[in-house]
Amino acid sequence: MLAGRLTRRQVLLGAAGGLVVGGVGGLIGYEWPRTSRPSRASTAQSGRGTGITGAAALRPELLAFVTRPELRPPAVNVTVRASQPSTPRYFVLSPRTYVEGTPGQHGLMLVDREGRLVWFQPLGPQPFDLAVQSYQGRPVLTWWQGTVVYTYGQGTGEIAGSRYQGLQKIQAGNGLKADLHELQLTRAGTALLTAYQTVEADFSSFGGKGKGKLIVGHAQEVDLASGKVLWDWDSLDHVGVEESYKKARQPGGEYDYFHINSIAEMPDGHLLISARNTWAVYKVDRSTGRIIWRLGGKRSDFTLGPGARFYWQHDARPHGPTRISLFDDGASPAEERQSRGLLLHVDTKAMRVSVHQEYLQPAGFLAANQGNVQVLPDGRVFVGWGNQPYFSEFEPNGELLLTGELPFGYHSYRAFTQDWHGAPLEPPAVAALGDLGGGTQVFASWNGATEVERWLVLAGEERTSLRPVGSQQWSGFETSLSVNAAGPWFAAVALDQAGKELGRSQPVQVGQRSTA
């Protein structure tokens, strides 16, 4: 860990301070040797002689592994109080770079509550919104990938199973492409997704000048089995451009007046739609598309109590008939001093909204865009801080439990804490290096395997006659084991908590690594 980082993280938890755990957990900038085998100290600790130059050699915020050199994910540092809940097991992230030239990779990521990497899948297309959902009665991973165009995305929704195999792609319909902002699977076997459309418009009719492209938000419901669009809600049919707080651009430009960014099912079956640029959430009749009520914005049907007004918000979700959570960005441009997670009490009889609880970071993060709020079954609240590289967990009363941090230049559109059980199709990976101090250093990993408790090392003179020579508890994405054996053949066996074999690597000789 870099000098001075502890003090910075203590600030994130306030005066009470905290304990930094997790973090790097991998070899930084390791290059496979051609003629000699450096000791563990010279590779894992000093980083010298690795063949990596420039920023990557100086950035412990990036992970690198002997067994999987093609992976260069960002590290996640987690700051926690003395005690914290142990569930859900993982933080679910889709880190991406937003500063040109930032080293490393963007992709899909699971880390445990100590910040240790469990699974990483680099993606060439932009990744957004990795989450655990239910599909055909079983847990799956879902995400969006594609191209970011101006303020929205054009791509596809993706569903993958517990073995990380692709199960289905989800497309928008009616000539539109699926947008990055929302992908919600329903119990009815459908997907709720957002899409954006551009239409020619006369900007002078709503305060602009000349003609340009007006961006319209769509909420679609798509049948997963057939791909048929069952429902397509067009913002321009129901919400006037005059409701927007975003200023119209000059002639020839694009004007995103609505900016739809979340869709959620309400307890009565209707839908809750959030629009960033009108500062409002809408309850929409699922049959007719009619707006039942507006909350916030210029035409709010509710009186907003002290602190209940929000600005440029994201991720509106109902929790029973009287509560709604959302991420109040408060920018951009800035309308508040800091962003916050917000849990609102919605009284539809008195038509009044009050703050049930707000969730604030002592560091005072102000997010210009993105962000989410997840309410857990026990009342804890998990907040992703949008374009700020952080996520936090709170007690129901707003007390901060932990904060996680991605490196500078990265952020995750949304962040979640969820359980997941993964069993990769590919076998474990292994590498063996002769240790100058004697014996052999063995490295083992299994990208995405969630049930590995220990690694058992096998060695022998022939690849077909290997015997156990050592074991080590799983200690992160890549576990290092020092064994007093010369081999020259080695293999690694993954064991679960009961000692049952989950999988084993292909045997390799000293100085080699298996291929993924």
Please write the tens of the pLDDT for every residue from 37-64. 222 222 222 222 222 223 333 345 899 9
Count of residues in the chain: 516
R_g over Cα of the chain: 25
Q: What is the DSSP letter of 67?
A: S
Report the domain count for the chain: 3
> Is the same domain home to 281 and 163?
yes
CATH number of the domain that 489 lies in?
2.60.40.10
503 and 390 within one domain: no
Give the model's pLDDT for residue 83: 77
From 387, 403, 422, the end of a domain falls on: 422
End-to-end CA distance of the chain: 29
| DSSP letters for 362-393 | TT----SS--EEEE-TTS-EEEE-TTSSEEEE
The H or E element containing residue 6 is helix 5-12
- 137 and 215 co-located in one domain: yes
* DSSP code, position 40: H
CA–CA gap between residue 137 and residue 446 (Å, rounded): 26
Domain shared by 155 and 237, yes or no: yes
- The phi and psi torsions of 242 (rounded to 5 degrees) equal -65, -15
Type of residue numbered 168:
Q
Q: Are residues 277 and 142 in the same domain?
A: yes
Q: CA 325, 126, 223, 194 torsion: positive or negative?
A: positive
Amino acid (one-letter) located at 16 = A
Which amino acid, 305?
G
The reported pLDDT for the residue numbered 60 is: 58
The reported pLDDT for the residue numbered 394 is 96
Residue-range definition of the domain harbouring residue 494: 429-509
Residue 338 lies in a domain: no
According to the model, what pLDDT value does residue 42 have?
Answer: 25
Q: Is residue 505 part of a domain?
A: yes
How far apart CA 159 and CA 437 sit, in angstroms, is 47
SS3 7: helix
Per-residue pLDDT tens for 483-516?
999 999 999 999 999 999 999 999 999 999 998 6
CA within 13 Å, CB half, 50: 23
Share of the chain above pLDDT 90, in %: 79
Give tens-digit pLDDT for 213-250.
Answer: 999 999 999 999 999 999 999 999 999 999 999 988 76
| Bridge partners, 438 (sequence order) | none
pLDDT over 50 at 35, yes or no: no
329 within some domain? no
Residue type, 330: G
b/e code 153-176 from CB counts within 10 Å (16+ = b): bbbbbbbbbbebeebbebbbbeeb
Give kind and range of the element (H or E) at residue 8.
helix 5-12
Contacts of 498 (CB under 8 A, 6+ apart): none
203: confidence class by pLDDT, cuts 50, 70, 90: confident
Per-residue pLDDT of 107-131, as tens digits, reads 999 999 999 999 999 998 899 999 9
Query: In sequence order, what are the residues at sequence separation of 6 or more whose Cβ sits closer than 8 angstroms to the Cβ of residue 494?
Result: 428, 444, 446, 449, 452, 454, 455, 501, 502, 503, 504
Examine the domain organization and report whether 386 and 458 are in the same domain.
no
Distance from C-alpha of 398 to C-alpha of 379, rounded to nearest angstrom: 10
